[in-house]
Chains A and B, each alone.
Chain A
Amino acid sequence: GAGVSQSPSNKVTEKGKDVELRCDPISGHTALYWYRQSLGQGLEFLIYFQGNSAPDKSGLPSDRFSAERTGGSVSTLTIQRTQQEDSAVYLCASSADSNYGYTFGSGTRLTVV
C-alpha cells in the first residue's frame, strides 16, 4: 500500500484480556518498528525488525508483550493479560533505510478498562 496501515484504529479491552495489534508496512520496507505513546509521554521504542535478523526487543516493557513479523512484511504486536497502564497509542513505522527516519502509521489507540 501507499502508507503504513495499522488495525484496529481503536481498541477497548477489559483488564486481563489479550489483544493483538496489526501493522502492514510500506511494501519493500525492510525495517519495521513499534513505538507507543502514553498520555503526556514521548514516543517509547518497543521493538525493531530488520529483514531476517533477530529482532531487537530491548524496549518491550514486560514479558506480557511480544511481537512477530511474518514473511518480512506484516507484524503483529500481542499484549497478554492487559493492564490499565498498557493504555496508549501504539504506533508502527517502517523504513527502507534505518538510518534515515521512518514513515509512521496512524496508530492503534488501546484503552484497557
Chain B
Amino acid sequence: DQQVKQNSPSLSVQEGRISILNCDYTNSMFDYFLWYKKYPAEGPTFLISISSIKDKNEDGRFTVFLNKSAKHLSLHIVPSQPGDSAVYFCAAGGGGTYKYIFGTGTRLKVLA
C-alpha cells in the first residue's frame, strides 16, 4: 500500500522551460510535505517544504503547490537548469507521526 506516489518515473525538460513534478498521497492525516533532490552517489538533500495550512510555498526558482482536497502536490522549477538534473522525492508526514513516507522518485533530466 503506497501512501505516497510519484507516478512519473522520469521527465525530460528543455533548459529554461518549466519542470513540473507531481506527487499524490492517500492519507488525509499527513500535514507536512517535503521535496528532496538526490544526485547519484549522494544522499538526498532537502529542497523545499509545505505545511497543510498553506497551498503554496516559494523559494527562488522552486515553488511547491498543495491541493489538499485532491491530495496532490507538485514542484515547479522555473527556469529549469542542467544542474537541476537529479532524482526528486516527495515525502509526507506529520499528523502526529514522526516518520516521513517517501515516494519512489522522479528522475528529471534538463537538456541544454
Q: Nearest residue in A to B104 (C-beta to C-beta)?
A: A42
Complex CA–CA separation, A6 to B44 (angstroms): 13
Let me know if A105 is at the binding interface, CB within 8 A.
yes
* A-chain residues with CB within 8 Å of residue B49 when the two chains form the complex: 100-101
Cβ A31 vs Cβ B98 within 8 A: yes
Instruction: Decide if the interface of chain B is mainly helix, strand, loop or mixed.
Output: strand
* A-chain residues with CB within 8 Å of residue B100 when the two chains form the complex: 45, 101-102
Cβ A104 vs Cβ B44 within 8 A: yes
Q: Can you list, as one digit per residue, whether each of B75-112 has a CB less than 8 Å from chain A (1) or not (0)?
A: 00000000000000101011000111111110000000
Q: Given A42-B4, A42-B89, do A33 and B99 touch, yes or no (CB 8 Å)?
A: yes
Let me know if B42 is at the binding interface, CB within 8 A.
yes
Q: Nearest residue in B to A31 (C-beta to C-beta)?
A: B98
Cβ B43 vs Cβ A4 within 8 A: yes
Can you identify 15 A-B contacts, CB atoms within 8 angstroms? Answer: A6-B43, A33-B99, A42-B103, A42-B104, A43-B102, A45-B100, A50-B98, A56-B98, A59-B99, A98-B98, A99-B93, A101-B46, A101-B100, A105-B43, A106-B43
Residue among A33, A91, A98 having the largest count of chain B Cβ atoms under 10 Å: A98
Q: Nearest residue in A to B9 (C-beta to C-beta)?
A: A40
Q: Which residues of B contact A (CB under 8 A)?
A: 4, 6, 32, 34, 36, 41-46, 49, 89, 91, 93-94, 98-105
B44 CB, min distance to chain A CBs, angstroms = 5
Complex CA–CA separation, A83 to B66 (angstroms): 40
Closest 9 A/B residue pairs (Cβ): A104-B43, A43-B102, A42-B104, A98-B98, A42-B102, A106-B43, A101-B34, A104-B44, A105-B43
Q: Nearest residue in A to B97 (C-beta to C-beta)?
A: A98
